[in-house]
Amino acid sequence: MAACALDAAPIERIGEVIALLIRNRPMGDPAVVHDTFVLERDYPVSPERVFAAFANPEAKRAWFAEGHNHDLERFEMDFQVGGVEISRYRVRPSGRFAGVVLSSDGTYLDIQPGRRIVIASILAMAGVRLSASLVTLSFAPTTEGTRLTCTHQGAFFENADGPERRKTGWRRLLHQLAEALDR
């Protein structure tokens, strides 16, 4: 059996090897996959409080950027129209892509306090762009609190995680938001 590049790589270089494999992987169908999904979630708190969980850098970092499967290396957020949100994560040794850096670079396109946030972003793994997204978050008052509507419009490139995994990720994030709002 032929040796794989991963077999000969020291553990501290696994991330570099995975990045090399991703970059040199056959492209297959170069078509971009477009997808839109909408998630709604109700929270028993005011729209202002839910909005603040997205607007406050410390609050958002805690529920959105921190995680069990990665180490957060960088999180910057300039919450204003034209401002940026930058995240850098390194997958932990127990993860599928141990040592690999994931990056998300976004720009806030529209902010209506207490009502709406629109952000465009690029997701990359090991320096390889995986997708471009436009996410619209709408906050509407209900009799019990707030209905958050998340509309995700994505273009998924070669080697991307795909629409279903992204939808699962956003469901997880909205659950983490619920936990943060309960504290």
Q: Looking at residue 160, what is its pLDDT?
A: 83
Q: Looking at residue 1, what is its pLDDT?
A: 40
Q: Looking at residue 2, what is its pLDDT?
A: 44
Q: How many helices (H) and strands (E) does the chain have?
A: 5, 7
Strands (E) located in 21-127: 33-43, 70-77, 84-91, 101-112, 116-125
Q: In sequence order, what are the beta bridge partners of 86?
A: 76, 105
Alpha helices (H) in 24-159, listed in sequence order: 47-55, 57-60
Query: Which residue, 149, 144, 147, 75, is CA-closest to 106?
Result: 75
Domain-by-domain residue ranges, the chain? 31-67+107-182
CB 116 within 8 A of CB 139: yes
CB 34 within 8 A of CB 155: yes
Q: What is the mean pLDDT of the chain?
A: 87
- Name the DSSP class of 116: E
Summarised one tens digit per residue, pLDDT across range 12-51 is: 554 555 555 555 555 555 689 999 999 999 999 999 999 9
Q: Looking at residue 75, what is its pLDDT?
A: 96
* Spans of the chain below 70 pLDDT: 1-30
Domain 31-67+107-182 is found in CATH 3.30.530.20: yes
